[in-house]
Amino acid sequence: MRLLALDTSTEACSAALLLGDGEVRLRFTLTERSHAELILPMIDELLGEAGLRVQDLDGLAFGRGPGSFTGLRVAAGVTQGLALGAGLKVAPVSSLAAVAAQVPVASRAERVLVCNDARMGEVYWAAFERDPGAVEPASLTAEQVAPPGRIVVPEGVRHAAGNGLARHPELKERLMAVGLQCHDNVYPRADAVAHIGARLLAAGRGVEAAEALPSYVRDDVARPAAGAVT
């Protein structure tokens, strides 16, 4: 399967091209506010190097969130435009699951807690069962946003990952104290999105361009930070 994937849900901006032989080519950079300026040149570079047009692809995938409101709109908007123009199906992929997918696991299933910084004193989090043979990491909890102190570690979780660990050292210390192995600064990355997206599309779980929508989780970006006096 030939598939283009994007993720701009955090300060990590990335695009990846999955080729028919399983090779994945990645463009990745860290930026606070330049996702919209960087993502299209990344896509053009990847396609140009491979000698492909969007119409030559079998599908698209994007990190649907949760994450930065602006970043999610960038990825969804670019993906919708490309998919509509080329008549391609889209695989929306959880950006938290894309972090879980990068955590090294043994051949048996293991459980991963993903914590990505949500600004405003909060963290986007969810737990997944990371089975190498599965289509995607299986959700053990709903995707949520909460202050670090309110994150609950589900039974059997052995790993924690995400940029929220470095942003909230007290959270990392608490998780390590209960025996979790912490993987610092693992960002949602387009190559992980590509692998999950390809399996979703192969399983018939792609959507039309108009249904390629962000998942914000936090529904009010203007509300005060956790613990703020109103």
Instruction: List the CATH number of the domain containing 202.
Output: 3.30.420.40
pLDDT-derived band at 15 (thresholds 50, 70, 90) equals very high
- Is the domain of 164 the same as that of 110? yes
Q: Which domain holds residue 52?
A: 3-94+188-211
Instruction: Examine the domain organization and report whether 73 and 105 are in the same domain.
Output: no
Residues 47 and 71 in one domain: yes
Least confident range from 50-54, 208-212, 218-222: namely 218-222
Instruction: State how many domains the chain has.
Output: 2
11 and 23 co-located in one domain: yes
pLDDT mean across residues, the chain? 93
Beta strands in the chain (DSSP E): 3-7, 12-18, 24-30, 59-65, 90-94, 110-117, 123-130, 138-139, 144-146, 157-162, 181-184
Written as six digits, the tokens of 135 are 């289509």
Coil, helix or strand at residue 209: helix
Q: Are 78 and 6 in contact (CB under 8 A)?
A: yes
206 in the same domain as 162:
no
User: Are residues 194 and 153 located together in one domain of the fold?
Assistant: no
Nearest one of 148, 199, 156 to 178, comparing CA atoms = 156
pTM attached to this predicted model: 0.93
- Whether 106 and 36 map to the same domain: the answer is no
Asked if residue 216 belongs to a domain, the reply is no
Distance of CA 124 to the CA centre of its chain: 11
If you ran DSSP here, which 8-state letter would residue 66 be given?
A: S
Q: Is 220 a domain residue?
A: no
* Same domain as 29, residue 78: yes
**Lowest model confidence (mean pLDDT) among 49-58, 144-153, 221-230:** 221-230
| C-alpha span between 214 and 57 (Å, rounded) | 22
List pLDDT tens digits, range 57-76.
Answer: 999 999 999 999 999 999 99
Please check whether residues 144 and 109 belong to one and the same domain: yes
Whether residues 65 and 86 share a domain: the answer is yes
Sign (positive/negative) of CA torsion 115, 149, 31, 225?
Answer: positive
Instruction: Read off the pLDDT of residues 125-169 as tens digits, 9 standing for 90 and up.
Output: 999 998 877 899 999 999 999 999 999 999 999 999 999 999 999
